Amino acid sequence: MLSRRFGGLLEPLCRVSTLPDLKAQILSLTREYARQAHGAHRPAADPDRTPWQSGSPIPYAGRVFTEDEVEAAVSATLDFWLTLGSEGAAMERELAAFLGVRHSLLVNSGSSANLVAIAALTSPKLPKERRIQPGDEVITVAAGFPTTVAPIVQVGAVPVFIDADPITGNARCDQLELAYSPGKTKAVMMAHALGNPFDLSATLAFCRQYNLWLVEDNCDALGCSYSMPRQLAESLGFTQNSPGLDEGLDRVVRWTGTWGDLSTQSFYPPHHLTMGEGGAVNIVSDQKLKVIAESFRDWGRDCWCPSGVDNTCNKRFGWQLGELPEGYDHKYTYSHLGYNLKPLDPQAAIGRVQLRRLPEFIEARKQNWETLRRGLAAHEDVLEFALPTHATAWHPEQGFSWDSSGCRTICSWFGFKIAVKPDAPFSRTDLAQELDRNLIGNRMLFGGNLLRQPAFVQLRHDNAQALRVVGDMVGSDEIMASTLFLGTYPGLTSAMLAVEVEAIQAFICQ
């Protein structure tokens, strides 16, 4: 039965003699298996994609892959290096090259990436006045995903919450100044919400004024770009476009994740590319931050040898650090209280194939957002749709109009955010339940106002000084009460999107 299904491919297996031949046969069979087993996970635009059956669930997100990813995973598994190795090193180089940053370090999740990024800023190797020490403050935003904030607490710092804007879903950067505490504020760490860049020009100006670190949680925003007039960009220290981006001589345009000091990615399946579990810390320009972040990722060690390599520094037995004896093995010298947060090499092999698809995935996310926006445009009386930061309106013909800042955002949307207006005859929960009845995947904007989550209520209850809140959180509360999002992922076919639009229209017009 099996050999019939694979058209006799199994038979030559018994006859091959060399290992490379054997591997090639296995990979050929693997591709055939993946083609037959996973047709429904191909990109929506792929002609070999298994057609979506009307009435089947429409996920909000998921893995999008072909036999290429499965082959890469099996090939790396057969090689059985397992821990981060040549595939990992290649993916780190390729991701850094795509973004145009100095280094990318792979980790096992976006949450780990956030932990490594903020932990790196606690290093004693940094100048004393910039190092985050226990009790120092890090400004963040109340609405979003919990592990943008939890690592701030986990390294002993105090998160200071500003509010979010219900239209963009992003931080209200006009509150940054209010959140500043001289001598205590050391960093700003916040996410580009649902693939919508936050106001980078205001945030960077604030960080430059007070000499603060900026950590961009770019987990939901790989492929978003942000541009500003050249003069403004240069005043903030940026002269170069990101690779592949260009808006003319008068402007500087860069990917999100390349404006701060450090940025983070998640490669969990709903994100812009996937390795199953995985993430990355991007070090934008400072080599010292790379060495420190790598140390926190890799047990806290001082040595930076890749796994399986012994003497990269050429003085393995030539160091004297801490109170260790002269010449103590550098491989076992620890300068930080670190973790071990590396992913596996086969995961990186998958990620490398996904990275090659990224431009196509980014485009699909934009198109899917546009399709939903056009499809639901007649319902602006009851539904409020997201606007990119700096946009003032969306027009079906002209697209977005922009504010007078001169800054622009191009969104690589993680989701299609919809808020139910206060005077609508139904609630957000009614809409979510209707979507559920229609098997249409929908999600809240993660934790909503995080301050209302049990973990943060408990944190404050245990120690009133563990966090600080600036002003009321009306925007974050509004997001929590009225917002949900639909998917924009590249597995959504036009038939699926049409069903989503029809279901929402039917619900509104009933």
Ligand X SMILES: Cc1ncc(COP(=O)(O)O)c(C=O)c1O
Q: Are 412 and 362 in contact (CB under 8 A)?
A: yes
| Amino acid letter, residue 382 | V
The tokens for 460 are: 């404050």
* Triad 139, 192, 124: Cα angle to 5°: 45
Task: Specify which residues 415 forms β-bridges with.
Answer: 487
**Chain center to CA of 264:** 6
In the complex with ligand X, the residue whose CB is nearer, 106 or 349, is 106
The values of phi and psi at residue 194, to 5°, are 50, 35
Question: Does residue 95 bind ligand X (CB under 6 A)?
Answer: no
Q: How far is CA 131 from CA 121, 194, 336, in A?
A: 6, 30, 13
Nearest to 372 by CA among 260, 264, 489, 471: 489
> Which of the ranges 4-12, 105-113, 364-372, 377-385 carries the binding residues for ligand X, by CB under 6 A?
105-113
CB of 408 vs ligand X, minimal distance in Å = 22
> Which of the ranges 104-112, 115-123, 125-133, 318-326 carries the binding residues for ligand X, by CB under 6 A?
104-112
Of 64, 106, 191, 303, the one binding ligand X (CB under 6 A) is 191
Question: Does residue 140 bind ligand X (CB under 6 A)?
Answer: no
Q: Are 109 and 268 in contact (CB under 8 A)?
A: yes
In the complex with ligand X, the residue whose CB is nearer, 335 or 447, is 447
Question: Does residue 145 bind ligand X (CB under 6 A)?
Answer: yes
Question: Does residue 148 bind ligand X (CB under 6 A)?
Answer: yes
Size of the site for ligand X (CB under 6 A): 16
Task: Specify which residues 440 forms β-bridges with.
Answer: 58
Q: Which of residues 406-465 bind ligand X (CB under 6 A)?
A: 446
CB of 219 vs ligand X, minimal distance in Å = 4
Question: Does residue 477 bind ligand X (CB under 6 A)?
Answer: no
Q: Which of residues 216-235 bind ligand X (CB under 6 A)?
A: 217, 219-220
In the complex with ligand X, the residue whose CB is nearer, 74 or 348, is 348
CB of 265 vs ligand X, minimal distance in Å = 8
> Which of the ranges 11-19, 106-114, 328-336, 465-473 carries the binding residues for ligand X, by CB under 6 A?
106-114
The values of phi and psi at residue 351, to 5°, are -60, -35
Question: Does residue 273 bind ligand X (CB under 6 A)?
Answer: no
Of 66, 104, 109, 295, the one binding ligand X (CB under 6 A) is 109
Q: Which residues contact 89 (CB under 8 A, 6 or more apart)?
A: 306
End-to-end CA distance of the chain: 52
Catalytic residue among 41, 192, 271, 390: 271
Instruction: For residue 271, indicate whether it is catalytic.
Output: yes
Question: Does residue 262 bind ligand X (CB under 6 A)?
Answer: no
In the complex with ligand X, the residue whose CB is nearer, 145 or 213, is 145
In the complex with ligand X, the residue whose CB is nearer, 147 or 412, is 147
- Alpha-carbon distance 10 to 273, whole Å? 33
Burial letters for 297-308: b for 16+ Cβ neighbours within 10 Å, e otherwise? bbbbbbbeeeee
Q: Give residue for tokens 């209010």.
A: 178
Catalytic residues: 271
Q: Which residues bind ligand X (CB under 6 A)?
A: 109-111, 114, 144-145, 147-148, 191, 217, 219-220, 266, 268, 279, 446
